[in-house]
Amino acid sequence: MAKKYETESNLADMIGPGTAIKGDIETNNDIKVDGSIEGNLISKGRIIIGQSGKVIGELKSTNCDIMGTFEGKLTVSELLSLKASSKLHGDVKTSKLSIEPGAIFTGTCNMDDKVTQPSAGVANAKK
């Protein structure tokens, strides 16, 4: 019996542990960061910063789960979830916010149900 493989468009993008990126990333897919990114990260899907993940810069997404470290400006059009192991230092703009006990949040938060969804340039690129 042949194995069925998911098409690449159904898989989340991933930045693995030990990988460091300096620069901007734009995607229409979900993305998980277990390495480090210094730059802007934009996703029309969900961004997950794993426990070993670190992002310094500007982040824009529809949903975001943080278990690792984030420093900078964060805009989430739907739900931002800070897990117990998270460390967030910066300015947040979101529609909904969930903070587990133990999470560290230093900065400002502006909650508004009219936060606009991010527009990744990847979707608008002409071929």
- From CA 84, how far away is CA 31, in angstroms rounded? 20
Q: Which of 67, 57, 103, 63 is nearest to 80 (CA)?
A: 63
Residue 117, pLDDT score:
74
Residue 120, pLDDT score:
58
Residue 48, pLDDT score:
96
Its pTM stands at 0.83
Q: Which of 125, 124, 116, 122 is nearest to 60 (CA)?
A: 116
Query: What pairs with residue 43 in β-bridges?
Result: 27
Neighbours of 85 (CB within 10 A): 15
Tokens 């979830």, located at residue: 81
DSSP assignment string, the chain: -PPP---GGGSPEEE-TT-EEES-EEESS-EEESSEEES-EEESSEEEE-TT-EEEEEEEESEEEESSEEEEEEEEEEEEEE-TT-EEEEEEEEEEEEE-TT-EEEEEEEE-TTPPPP--HHHH---
Local confidence pLDDT in tens for the 127 residues of the chain: 454 444 444 457 899 999 999 999 999 999 999 999 999 999 999 999 999 999 999 999 999 999 999 999 999 999 999 999 999 999 999 999 999 999 999 999 999 887 777 775 554 444 3
